[in-house]
Chain A
């Protein structure tokens, strides 16, 4: 496959283009996705290529937009719904939690909801409390939904296409601070399988389990450890629901030590679930309790000094992991 370096945001656009090309019943709807090409540039050029019937600007009506996706999916279309910022899930949570996630089950399997929701998470841009959250735990708590969290341009395109080909509701939680990062991406259509984690760095002494932007912080932490002669393995979960716990367990059985890292608030975050599953299934292989790194229990503050204090980073991962290693 022909591969070149493109940005994360360009990879989203390629994924979106692929979807509209390969699926006649697919359409994209959201606020400013068509005329403006998305406020992050995720859909630039698509209006010219596909016209306003396939890429639809909506009013600022999140509940309406998601409901439109649910109704269209249930009746045979394959909607891609854009919710600009993940924080705005607050406006449409009933359509997500009580309709989209449950319709198939409540109907005894009679309905199929091949809907993809694209949204943007993460802090670090002084966007303050209502435009910076990482709320993936809300979604992972809802049976019926799938949730993926691309960390790289490759995964952004591959997971987006995989989501659209899936016959279930899939949330593709992109990350704002990753938009301008670059990486190798094939020109062709491809998928990254939903539910498959990836070992992005191999190591023997410690397993760092993470996803989304924190993968880069974990890799930096691993470099710091390497200088001290500690060999850390880094796992990018890529998919949170379904969760590839087998890849995590295989690693922990090898290293005997694990730290789970996410940008989301630590309390009741995914880290708790993953740590619990590790100790349930690999207790005898553990040399230390599973540690967790996440944001403190506060809204995301505006001011840079507070926001940087708030955010998990490589330094905090190293500090926490040192307890696990017994340093």
Chain B
């Protein structure tokens, strides 16, 4: 079931590369002092966003996290307006008011990155309620971390989604850490998906480094939601290759280089490219062309941001109210 077509495979690959290159450059710009504030980068986790988002259209909603650029990119975010937002420019998706932690785009169905851990799931439940209320077949997908799965807000949201049989999907991006705390020190279970039983919904664990595995599991969950059969808790085991904040972060030794290297051997993009090459879906040259195009896009995005005007101070009080 849910076998991805060659086009879908190439589409997923392109989304993953877009995230990787964008995030790598954003990290570089942050370390160069060009992007202010805190950036939580998504490198290493690309297969999750791509494997889920390829099933969604602009009319489907997602809620994101503090680590939200990847979600927005996979949902169709444009680099120019994204970089402009990270740079705090007037041309950014949030007119410079949100920044990395609040980047959002309503037209793309992206209800915001979020500075509050665990804030997304209840909002996704509201979006799912809304789509059901209006009798559409749209779904709401909530991304959240292993750490966020310990917030009461997540539990309340999951219970309500199951109770009302809402078209929601809860995607737990389990990267093994909440900030600097390993999962074993923040919860007594290994699989967050185990919790699904307590809410009365299916819980599925999938290899979050395997784009096709994510694609298949997410497809089943989203199909189930669209069919009116209620929510699913989909846990994707993944890993972030950069630090919690920025690239090198605070330099704390909370995880080992060996552990990082083990996970990097299973780099989701490299594994996927090997798979695609073997299937004859994407040649080496074709893959290289994707990187070239995406890199040009990133370059243009940064240039757009750097040449964009700063917000007019007179806009400070705009949009506090409708």
Inside 8 A of A309's CB, which chain B residues have their CB? 313, 316
Inside 8 A of A130's CB, which chain B residues have their CB? 101-102, 114-116
1/0 per residue, CB under 8 A from B, across A125-148: the answer is 111111100000000000000000
1/0 per residue, CB under 8 A from A, across B54-91: the answer is 00000000000000000000000000000000001100
User: How many residues in B have their beta carbons less than 8 Å from beta carbons of A?
Assistant: 40
Residue B51 CB within 8 A of the other chain: no
In the complex, are the beta carbons of B115 and A32 less than 8 A apart? no
In the complex, are the beta carbons of A297 and B317 less than 8 A apart? yes
1/0 per residue, CB under 8 A from B, across A278-314: the answer is 0000000000000000001111011111100110000
Interface segment out of the listed A60-68, A75-83, A184-192, A229-237: A60-68
Q: Of all chain A residues, which has the CB nearest B97?
A: A301
25 pairs, A vs B, C-beta closer than 8 Å: A32-B180, A35-B181, A35-B254, A59-B181, A61-B151, A62-B151, A64-B152, A125-B37, A128-B115, A129-B102, A130-B101, A130-B115, A131-B38, A298-B316, A298-B320, A301-B97, A302-B101, A303-B88, A303-B311, A304-B88, A305-B88, A305-B311, A305-B313, A306-B97, A309-B316
In the complex, are the beta carbons of A126 and B99 less than 8 A apart? yes
In the complex, are the beta carbons of B151 and A129 less than 8 A apart? no
User: When the two chains form the complex, which single residue of A35, A91, A126 contacts B116, counting CB atoms closer than 8 Å?
Assistant: A91
Inside 8 A of B105's CB, which chain A residues have their CB? none
In the complex, are the beta carbons of B178 and A302 less than 8 A apart? no
Residue B290 CB within 8 A of the other chain: no
Closest chain-B Cβ to A46's Cβ sits at a distance in Å of 15
- Complex: how many Å from CA A39 to CA B245? 11
Residue B315 CB within 8 A of the other chain: yes
Residue A320 CB within 8 A of the other chain: no
In the complex, are the beta carbons of B37 and A60 less than 8 A apart? no
Residue B186 CB within 8 A of the other chain: yes
In the complex, are the beta carbons of B180 and A35 less than 8 A apart? yes
A-side interface residues toward B, CB under 8 Å?
Answer: 31-32, 35-36, 39, 57-64, 87-88, 90-91, 125-131, 296-299, 301-306, 309-310
Inside 8 A of A31's CB, which chain B residues have their CB? 178-179, 181
In the complex, are the beta carbons of A303 and B185 less than 8 A apart? no
Q: Of all chain A residues, which has the CB nearest B92?
A: A303
Residue B17 CB within 8 A of the other chain: no
- Residue with the greatest number of chain B CB neighbours at <10 A, chosen from A39, A57, A87, A303: A303
In the complex, are the beta carbons of B316 and A310 less than 8 A apart? yes
- Complex: how many Å from CA A304 to CA B14? 33
- Residue with the greatest number of chain B CB neighbours at <10 A, chosen from A57, A91, A297, A302: A302
In the complex, are the beta carbons of B89 and A131 less than 8 A apart? no
Closest chain-A Cβ to B85's Cβ sits at a distance in Å of 8
Closest chain-A Cβ to B82's Cβ sits at a distance in Å of 13
Closest chain-B Cβ to A120's Cβ sits at a distance in Å of 14
Inside 8 A of B281's CB, which chain A residues have their CB? none
Inside 8 A of B89's CB, which chain A residues have their CB? 303
Inside 8 A of B38's CB, which chain A residues have their CB? 127, 131
Per the 8 Å Cβ criterion, residues 88-144 of B in contact with A are 88-89, 94, 96-99, 101-102, 114-118
Q: Of all chain B residues, which has the CB nearest A302?
A: B99
Closest chain-B Cβ to A56's Cβ sits at a distance in Å of 10
Inside 8 A of A61's CB, which chain B residues have their CB? 150-152
In the complex, are the beta carbons of A301 and B96 less than 8 A apart? yes
- Complex: how many Å from CA A191 to CA B102? 40
- Complex: how many Å from CA A90 to CA B311? 29
- Complex: how many Å from CA A110 to CA B230? 48
In the complex, are the beta carbons of A36 and B102 less than 8 A apart? no
- Complex: how many Å from CA A31 to CA B186? 9
- Residue with the greatest number of chain B CB neighbours at <10 A, chosen from A35, A64, A90: A35
Closest chain-B Cβ to A267's Cβ sits at a distance in Å of 11
Q: Of all chain B residues, which has the CB nearest A64?
A: B152
